[in-house]
Structure 1
Amino acid sequence: MPKTVKLSSRPAFGRRIPDATSSDTPRVCVSTYLLDPSSDTRSGSLCILKAEKNQDLVLENEISTSAGVFRFDFRNPSTVVAALTNGSLVVQKIEEPTSSETTPVSSDMLLDLGLSDSSLTITTDNKGHAYLVDLNTSLIVATWLAHSLPYVPGEGCEVWSCSVTPDAQTVVTGGEDGSMKLWDARSKTQISQSKIFGAGVVFVDFPAENRAENQIYTGSYDENLRVFDRRNLKTVLKEKKLPGGVWNIEQDDKEQQLIARRCLRESRRRKEFVVWSDEDFPKFDDFLYF
């Protein structure tokens, strides 16, 4: 049976906390956002959940943020870097109530971010732009227009997802224009792209370097999970049809082969976070839905 918990705001994104992946009681971090129509502002939080065995999810801690949180990534098991709807990046210790480490990046909404092994971070917004940011200095190192709709040349569209290689030399982005693009972060020039998607590309990621350094995971709301070789984006290495838009993919560290094991999907039940086990959906491996 699925495990559920009612949250104070609508869940947007969730990932297992890295040090808890092999535990009998794994912990999950979930981001939320709440739109106030009267002021057109968004509030949000980071929720730390524990999956108790044979029980529903337990809310351990809810950390308020200065705006809604679309996505985040773990700098280490105790620290999250989050992309906020007010255009800022925030560095947050998950055991602390608030954070003052905020870096303004864009006047628009940030949608995603990707961390390198250094302080350099890639982040993207809803107006087509990608930003390479140094979290140590809070400086924007580079910015460029990454995605725009074909029928409105020069007008940016949502860059739903982004990732950067550990050495911060190469960036991949996915956009509402239905394309995935590979970039040289130093020169801000496009290396290659793929337009085989039937809808917007909402997830891109470079898998762990010691697994398959030349591969890219992608998800789209055309409901397909795809794996590419970044040296040839014209060919799909692996493809799987799923019962919904693929907004997140996580690796299972227990597997030796390259398999995307979990994806996240928006629930129709607002404010409810749901974890489905592999017993509930055996034919989809152990995909995780919310």
Structure 2
Amino acid sequence: MAVWQTKWRWATGYSADSVEWCPVEPYRDVLVCGTYQLEKNTEQDNSSAKQTRLGRIYLFVINKNTTELIPVHSIDTSGILDQKWSYHSIMDYPILAVVTSIGTLQFYRLTNENGALKLKLWLEHVIGEDVLALSVDWSTNRSSSEEPRLVVSDSAGCVHVLKIVGDRLEMMGRWESHGFEAWIAAFNYWNTDVFYSGGDDCIFKSYDIRVPDVHTTVNKRHEAGVTSIRSHVDVEHQLLTGSYDEKIRIWDTRSLKSSIGEIDVGGGVWRLKWHPHKRDTVLAACMYGGFRVLRISDETEILSEYLEHESIAYGADWQFDSDLVATCSFYDCKMHISEVAV
């Protein structure tokens, strides 16, 4: 069994939905927490009026010298829906990709000026007007590239693929993929021409950018919206999906007609993160079911659960060089740092 021990709790102010540890050396003690909140406006009686979504990114350094959680930097922005660090530096900087409630994709450089760490906006791209950009993934989690790609999904059901070329972004393609929100999009890290999306229409799709007008696979086996997709960095052909139907499904990417296994985790699955060093271990944020650590093997099993948050479990991530796990929850506006012995 995996044993959780809560080390710190911190109030995030706005509702918290994303926590991501930096994977780039020597900054693996760096953590970002992303938040999202509807601005309260009592004069907004017209239900069709646009709602303003506020957001804030908090930057932390958490290591053996930490005694309490204090952000070293914060940035006010639009509502944050997802964040992902590049696994490799770009132009000598660790880079954080962020998608927002006003349909933008932003890139922040982690800078170190005289020992003071800060996030500085580097690039920004508008995905679409009047849409929320819902998820983002890098193509380079397994190997670096001179022109790293990103895939972004949005609330209009579209999926966008872009690449970084020098100091600018180039669009590679846009797909009208789902009838409702495209909650998630992710790359196959072993073949970055291939990517996936999942939508509120319960459909899981696979694409190949070399044949942009063709959906390689359309799978309708999920019983509710598809909310999470994660390729394995260390095990070729292994892929996980999570859904509002409270199941995690295991797939072999060579045949996506049906999953090769599934497990009920007792809550809608919003985030899935493979352990950075234990290739059969997964961290899951299960919305109303709290957080889970699972073993994905011939007999998939839940190793432990973490129920100390009091609201929707949205964000979760492993630190790369320790047993620390960051988790965050929405309406109670909390981030926890725990030690998890697996």
Which of the five TM-score ranges fits, normalised by the shorter chain? Answer: 0.7 to 0.9
- Name 1:254's counterpart in structure 2: 277
Partner amino acid, structure 1, of 2:227: V
Please provide the CA RMSD for this pair: 2.7
Distance 2:10 2:59 in 1: 11
Partner amino acid, structure 2, of 1:14: V
Q: Cα distance, 1:190 vs. partner?
A: 0.6
Equivalent position to 1:196, from 202, 213, 221: 221
1:30 is the counterpart of 2:33 = yes
Question: For structure 2, which runs of at least 5 residues remain unmatched after alignment?
Answer: 42-49, 111-116, 141-146, 286-290, 292-312, 315-328
Deviations 1:150-193 (CA, angstroms, capped at 9, x unpaired):
xxxxxxx1111111234531110011111211011232221112
Q: Cα distance, 1:63 vs. partner?
A: 3.0
Counterparts of 1:1-290 in structure 2, within 5 Å, are 1-2=5-6, 3-19=8-24, 26-38=29-41, 40-51=51-62, 58-75=69-86, 76=88, 78-94=94-110, 95-107=117-129, 108-117=131-140, 118-136=147-165, 137-148=168-179, 157-166=180-189, 167-188=191-212, 189-208=214-233, 211-255=234-278, 257-263=279-285, 265-266=313-314, 267=329, 269-278=331-340
Cα gap change, 1:54 to 1:92, in 2 (>3 Å): closer
- Name 2:46's counterpart in structure 1: none
Distance 2:55 2:124 in 1: 15
Percentage identity across aligned positions?
18
- With the length of structure 2 as denominator, give the TM-score of the two structures: 0.70
Distance 1:187 1:234 in 2: 19
Matched residue of 1:236: which SS?
Answer: coil
- Name 1:282's counterpart in structure 2: none
Deviations 1:56-108 (CA, angstroms, capped at 9, x unpaired):
76133343253111111111473211111111111112432441411122111
Q: Cα distance, 1:27 vs. partner?
A: 4.2
Distance 1:196 1:254 in 2: 31
Distance 1:20 1:275 in 2: 20
Kindly indicate whether the alpha-carbon contact (under 8 Å) linking 1:218 and 1:227 is maintained by their aligned counterparts in 2. yes
Pick 1 or 2: higher relative contact order, CA cutoff 8 A, min separation 6: 2
Q: Which has the larger radius of gyration?
A: 2
Cα gap change, 1:238 to 1:30, in 2 (>3 Å): farther
Cα gap change, 1:159 to 1:56, in 2 (>3 Å): farther
Distance 2:160 2:330 in 1: 32
Cα gap change, 1:64 to 1:268, in 2 (>3 Å): closer
Q: Cα distance, 1:12 vs. partner?
A: 1.2
Distance 2:60 2:270 in 1: 20
Q: Cα distance, 1:123 vs. partner?
A: 0.6
Number of residue pairs matched? 267
- With the length of structure 1 as denominator, give the TM-score of the two structures: 0.81
Matched residue of 1:219: which SS?
Answer: strand
Question: For structure 1, which runs of at least 5 residues remain unmatched after alignment?
Answer: 149-156, 280-285
Partner amino acid, structure 1, of 2:105: L
